[in-house]
Amino acid sequence: MLLRTLALVFALAPVTALAVPSQVNVAGTMKWVSDAPVEKIIGTADGKGSLTIDFDDLTRISGTLTVAVDTMKSGNGKRDGHLRSAEWLDAAKHPNITFTIKAVKVTQPTTGDAVKMAVLEATGDFTLHGVTKPLTAPVTLKWKGPKVKITTAFNISLDDYAIEGKKGIVGNKVGKQIAVTVRLKGKAN
């Protein structure tokens, strides 16, 4: 009797699929703005990354995003050469800027039907110019089926990453703070 009851309970119980995290390769553009008293510089760079996203539990997102320093462009070839030089970002010694996600907090739960959206706070290790510091940034994640869009914006301080540049330039022609906006797209596998 007990076996028949258990069999009936299991037969009538709803079947739930285990959520499987998706591998998402993303690529896009990083826009950076240096706003100094003498000059405002607006530049771009190419970014890419590999993320693991569990769309049923966004706190489990992990992965690394990378920007190659040699893709950074400011609209002035000579300035771009300076940017990549040993005095500034030293692309030869530190070719990549990376952000490795360590923790994610959901600040606005998933909304939407056809296009889903959630607002998150991602914390991780941001590495620039060979210096790694913790960074927390707001992230908007949108997805429709397997297509994913990620946007974020944050500021970094050149002092925090030991970027001194040519004497007298930082704070005059180059801002001490750099505003960064990132837009990435990808597709879940």
Question: Over the stretch 45-98, which tens digit does the pLDDT of each residue have?
Answer: 999 999 999 999 999 999 999 999 999 999 999 999 999 999 999 999 999 999
Q: Which architecture does CATH list for 20-188?
A: Beta Barrel (2.40)
Please return the burial class of 31, using the count of CB atoms within 10 Å of its CB with bins 0-12, 13-18 and 19+.
middle
Of the candidate ranges 19-23, 103-107, 165-169, the one whose mean pLDDT is the lowest: 19-23
- For the chain, the average pLDDT equals 91
- The one-character DSSP state at 86 is T
Burial classification of residue 110, based on how many CB atoms lie within 10 Å of its CB (0-12 exposed, 13-18 middle, 19 or more buried)? middle
Query: Is residue 149 within 8 Å of 142, Cβ to Cβ?
Result: yes
pLDDT at residue 19 in the model: 59
For residues 103 and 139, the answer to whether their CB atoms sit within 8 Å is: no
